[in-house]
Every structure is written in C-alpha cells, then in structure tokens.
Amino acid sequence: MTTDSTRLTSGAALGESSAPWRERLASLLDAYSRRPRPGSSRARFDAAVAWQSELVDAGLAAPGWPVSAGGMGLDLDDQLDYYRMTSAARTPKHPCSLSFIVAPTLIVHGTQQQRDRYLEPLLRADEFWCQGFSEPGAGSDLASLSTRAVADGDVYRVTGQKIWTTMADRADWIFALVRTGPPGRGTSGITYLLIAMDSPGVEVRPLRDAAGGHHFAEVFFDDVEVPMANRVGEEGDGWSIMRTSLGHERATAFLADEFRYRKTVDQVLRLAVEQGHRDDPLVRQHVADLETDVRTIATNSARALSAVLRQEDPGGVASINRLVKSEFEQRLHGLALRLTGPGAALGSRSAGAVDGGRWTYGYLMSRASTIGAGTAEIQRNTIAETVLGLPSHRGEGRRDPVVEPGRPLAVPESDERAVRSAVAGVVHSRVETDRILHGRVDTAELWDALVDFGLPGLAAPESLGGGGASPRLLCAAIEEAAYRLAPVPLVPTVAALALLLACGAEDAAAPVIAGARCAVAVAVDDFGWCLDDTAPTVTDGVLTGVVDRVVGAPDAQILVVVARSADSGEVAVVVIEPADAMVTRQDPLDLTSSVGAVSLDGVRGDVVAVGPQARRGIEEAQRIAHLAIAADSVGVANRALAMAVDWAGQREQFGRIIGSFQAVSHCCADMLVEAEGARNQVLAAADLDGDSVEAELSAQLAAAHALSAAVRVTESCVQVHGGIGFTWEHPAHLLLRRALANEAWCARPESLRDRAAGRVLAQFS
C-alpha cells in the first residue's frame, strides 16, 4: 500500500478539481442505492470496508478532518448535510469506530511521518485500531495504570496488561497509555504509544460479554519492543494528549451519532406502533423523552462544533454529551425491550424473539455504555471538577471552571454574546433579592431600560419599529432577564405581541413594540390555551365573560383577549384597554410576576382576527409563547445551577468543602446536564422557520424539557444549600417558585410531551 503524503491528500485534490462535493456524494450514493444488500454479517463487514475506500478515492471521507489530513474540511452546516445524506442512503458506518479516537490525536499531536503512515489506512479501514487504556487495577481510574514502558536504545520495552479492550482480536494496532515515569498513581510520567498487535510478546485473550459475544478482550504485553518513532508527543505527555486532542473529532462524531441514533429511535417508534402502544399514555411519555434525548445530543453537538469551527474552545459540551449519550442508549433499549411485551422473556437467539432478538441483545450490550470509556460516575466527577470547577473528590485541589457556572458552555456567536451582555447589564444593577422580597424593585424603571435596549420587540419586523433580530436572540435575551429574576412581564408581553403579529394586527402591535406592557387573556388548561366554550364571548365587538389567572394582567397596558363569537362560535382575537375591564390582582406563586382575574362585562374591544385567521395566529403565537416561557425557565435553571455550584465550592462540612463529596458534586453535574441541554434545545428550536412542520414539534419538546429541567434544577439548588436554602431571605425559593409557575401558566410539560409523541408516532401508521 502507498502511504506517502501524496496518496493521503489525493482525495482532497480530486475534490478541488471536480464537481462540488454534494453532487459527487449524491452520485456515489445513488450508485450505492442500486447495489444488492449483503446477506450475511461477514458480507456486510466486507462491504463496509470497501465503502470506506470508495469514499477516500472520491475525496468524500472524513468530512470534519482538515484537508491536509485527507479530510474534507467542511464547516458545520456542510457536515450536517453530509451526515443527512449518508444516513438517508443507509450507507455502512466505518467498521472501526475506535479509529476516530486515535485519528484526531495523530492530526493534532502526531509527527508528519506518523500522519502519513497511519491516517489513510485507518480511514480506508485497511487497518483496525483498538484502545489500550483500561487495566485490571485502572479502569475508570486511568491515573493508576501500571503497564510500563522502559526506554532501551531506540525502542521501548512494554510489559503489563490491558483489559476490556474492544476489537482487540481483530485490530492491527493498539494506541495505549503506558507509564514511563516512576511507578505509582499519578498523571505525570504517562506516555502515548502506538503498538503493532502482531508484535512478539503481545497476547490477546477474548472475554465473553453479558450478551454472549466476544467484543472485548484482555491484552498482555511481555517485553514488547515498540520503536521510539511510535511515541505520540513527548515522553510523559500522554495524559494531556489523551485529554486535549479529542475536541474537534468528538463534536463531529456526535453529529454522526445523531443520525445513527435517529435511525434507531425511529425503529423503536415503529416497534411501539406495531406492538399496539400508540395510545398508551405511559409509552407516549417515554417516546417524547427519547425524542428529546436524541435532539439534546444533536443540539449540544452542533453548538460545540460551531465553536470549534470558529477556532474557539467548545467548553465542556463534549463531557456532557458523553454522559447524555451513554444513559440515552440505555433508556432507548430499555423502552424497546419493554415494548416487546412477553417476548422479553426470550433470549436474543430464540426463534420466537421479537425482531430477531435485537432488542434483548441491544439492551444487554447497552449496560456497558455507562461503564466503557469511563463510568457514568466518573463522567460526573469530570463534569463537576473539570467543567464546573468543584474541588477534587480525591483531595487534589480544584481547577478553574471551563466557563462561569450558569453561562453557555459553548461560546455563543458574537451577536448572541452582545445581546446577553446588554440585557445582563440592564437587569443586574436594578434587581436584588431583598428588593424583590420587599417589593422595592422599580419595575417601571427596569421595564423602560429593557425597552430602551429593544425589548419586547427585539424580533419584530424592522418595518414596524422592531429590532428585526432572530427568535434565537429574543430567547437569549429572555433567558438573561430570567437569570437575574427580572420582575417584569416580559414573557406575557412577548406572547401577546406574537399573537398580534401572527394575526396581522400591525396597528395594534405597534404600541407593544414601542414598549407597552401586554398580556394574553386566555383560559389555560394542561394542554395550553383553551379555545372551548369556557372562553369569553364576543358580539359586535362587545366581550362578556371572565378569564381567571392571567399572568401579567395587573401590569398590562394592553390586553389581548382570546374569545369566541356568540353567533358563529368562531374563535376571535380582541384587543382591549385594561381600564375598560375589571382586573382583580391575585396572589402569585411566583413573587417576580403578577397574576389577575379579568372580568369582561360589556367591554368593547377591537376584533383583529376571527375564524381561520385567528386560529392560525393562535397556533403560531403559542409556539412563540412556548419558546419564550422555555427560555425563561432556562434562565431560572442556570441561575440555580450557578448558586448551587458557588455554595458547594465554599460551604464546609465534616472538615471538607461539600462540593468534594460526590453526592453533592454529582448533583451539580446533573444540574448542568439538564440546564445546558435545555438551553441548547430552546435555541435550536428558535432557529427553525416558523412555517416548517418541524417548528411546532421542536418548540413543544424544547418547552417540555426546559420546564421540567427548571423545576428539577431549582429543587436541587434548595437541596444543595440545605437549611439556608429553605429560608425566606435566600433567593433559592424565588427560583423554585418561578420554575413551578412557568410549568403551570402555558402548558404542562407532560401534556406537551403527549402531543409531541402523538405527532412523532403518527409518522409510523
């Protein structure tokens, strides 16, 4: 095989001189689709290897690798398109996924000679790799590894044992961490070596896994000679190389995983329908959770990769996604096994097993997902100590957090950073806990300052005096205001403005864009805004009826009423002056908001939409309202996270900082996973075109995720603070109150999940 640099970059050169990559890939995929599918596992394996060579020859392999390394060097959007295309064509994945852990290490830290020698055979699947990290006495605790490498002239002599080594029985090479420094526990003196598996002294002993297969093995090294040229980086730098070289490829690999997971989730959804569980309310909740999980993985990855491609640190998103993915795989297969009903009593190889036993087999294999490559508990340690900056549970001090807890892990783009900074500056100097508790916040002055910035009309059309910004930036602004518990009716006003704009009521929207406080007077049940007979009636512009529990009504300068025509029963949207109605202030759970009952007895208003136009406007406005309340909940959750981490990092108990206790640090890690996942889902849903079929589904799932996450995170915040978190003067209860109120006033998360699940399952009729 030719392995020089000319061969390595030949695919990229071909791509530069021929048709655009999409056209070439589409042509290759079209040819692939006409081929007969292999019938045996061996034939499928051979086909997967052959497919990799086709991609390399066409310059269409490794979309995220730099061109200089033989990849395509695509940006984020192009990589997404690439994986969409290959996933839709159901092309085989690379038969050795471990290759894509060593590859970025070589790209970043390897010599040119190493890159020339190893990258192309790896990419073509001509050579397979396995990972030699875990040992019998150093599984997740890699710093305790004891396999030794002793320098002897121009070689290292390696002696020791690795275990749980996936694909060791068929790998050509192993990338291994070995100890070249003094024996004992520690991260210094660890070196990264590339070892040929056919070297004298290497012995592989397969291990049988719980599913009955032989996917991993023990590997023994008995005085194995490894050339010094096979060392990656400097001697003793192996630990930092292992930890720092994966950012770009991890983010890219997560994007690929999104499409692989999407396919598997769809298979589970089809199974649910086929097994008669389409209308099972419990199954529907699990279905919505799966759909949320796969989207969380995708949105986390997209924001991380976007930062990487801007040459910025992706933060701790990769660490979070590693944990999310492993637990998602278990939930996925757990639900699938549940859906097989009595079939779950059969082994995976039984003649009567559902779907050939794949779900039983998959469930058993998924138990390893929270063990391999570091257990879920170790991942939580990493998130708590490396990402959040909490003290080491081993007494090894503490590091600076990747970013300030509560702030976006992946660096936002410049426009989002500017919006966040501006809103934070407006609210921070005007809102304090003590002022909120005693009603001393000058809400009028705060509202005017937010209006001066451009809220609530930040995303309204410029032609109407709005900011013309994207819904994503509006959500970022709402999040920042909520993070600081701004006691103003921003979300109710945004929802009302969205309803007016969606109904085409531009004249009525103008004063709201200019800064008038507003609210939507509409009955609400667990599923959201009610359009049934409980709504007020309207006859010739005159309203009659009562709407209870209207959030923001006592502070509103304009009320937008959802009513029904007394004559035709058609839905109508009516704008009134609050002074013409009777607004009775009610005692709110959320001390940063206002709630009131609106009595309409012969109140005359301006009917701005009726019938189909009103219904369409209400549907679109509910989507925006869901995103706005979700963004508010994200802000609340992240403030609770920041407070909990701060307290856990300074409070002492039993002679130790409480954040060094794993019970506390793992709680904080879970809070981060919830809060960051909710943020990324909300922003991704806000980026979608409102006219797309996907937009409402994404908004429902994002809102359900954010509403539930905010309650769980704020409850955890109180728990981490202990007794002080339960006192009136501490802001923890203010956050919990706001999170609970958010769950109640727009739509219950369980109901949003049920609706979303119905939409998802309908695709598998």
Residue tagged 């501006």 (tokens): 422
Decide: 68 and 243 in contact? Cβ < 8 Å.
Answer: no
What span, in angstroms and rounded, lies between the C-alpha atoms of 384 and 392?
A: 9
142-147 contact pairs (CB < 8 A, 24+): 142/177, 142/239, 142/242, 143/185, 143/186, 143/187, 143/190, 143/239, 144/185, 145/177, 145/178, 145/179, 145/190, 146/179, 146/183, 147/176, 147/177, 147/178, 147/179, 147/221
DSSP state of 159: E
- Residue 172's CB is within 10 A of a number of other CB atoms, namely 15
DSSP 245: S
Containing H/E element for 467? none
> Please, which residues have CB within 8 angstroms of residue 20's CB and are 6 or more apart in sequence?
none
According to DSSP, residue 541 is labeled T
Cα separation, 573 vs 649, whole angstroms: 51
For 440-523, strand residue ranges (E) read 518-521
Distance, CA of 435 to chain centre: 35
CB-CB contact of 204 with 218 (8 Å): yes
Residue 233 in contact with residue 109, Cβ under 8 Å?
yes
Whole-angstrom distance, CA of residue 388 vs CA of residue 675 = 13
Q: What one-letter code names the amino acid at 261?
A: Y
Identify the DSSP state of 345.
Answer: G
Taking alpha carbons only, the member of 221, 139, 137, 234 closest to residue 190 is: 234
Residue 361, CA distances (Å) to 266, 325, 531 in order: 18, 18, 47
- Residue reference for tokens 């984020």: 76
Nearest in space to 523 (alpha carbons), one of 556, 543, 496, 551: 551
DSSP 182-214: -SSS-STTEEEEEEETTSTTEEEEEE--TTS--
Q: How many whole angstroms from its chain centre is CA 312?
A: 19
Distance set, CA 27 to CA 12, 60, 70, 694 (Å):
17, 11, 21, 28
Residue where the block lists tokens 């790998």: 171
Counting every residue written for the chain, the total comes to: 765
Give me the sign of the Cα torsion angle 193, 195, 199, 201: positive
Residue 696 is among the residues annotated as catalytic for this protein:
no
Q: Which residues 6+ apart lie within 8 Å of 27 measured at CB?
A: none
Please name which of 679, 648, 643 lies closest in space to residue 663, comparing C-alpha atoms.
648
Rounded CA-CA distance 100/82 in Å is 17
CA quadruple 100, 104, 110, 112: dihedral, nearest 10: 90
- Report the alpha-carbon distance of residue 621 to residue 696 in Å, rounded: 11
CB proximity list for 258: less than 8 A, separation 6 or greater: 83, 294, 297, 298, 301
User: Among the options 120, 127, 135, 249, which is catalytic?
Assistant: 249
Which residues are known to be catalytic? 249
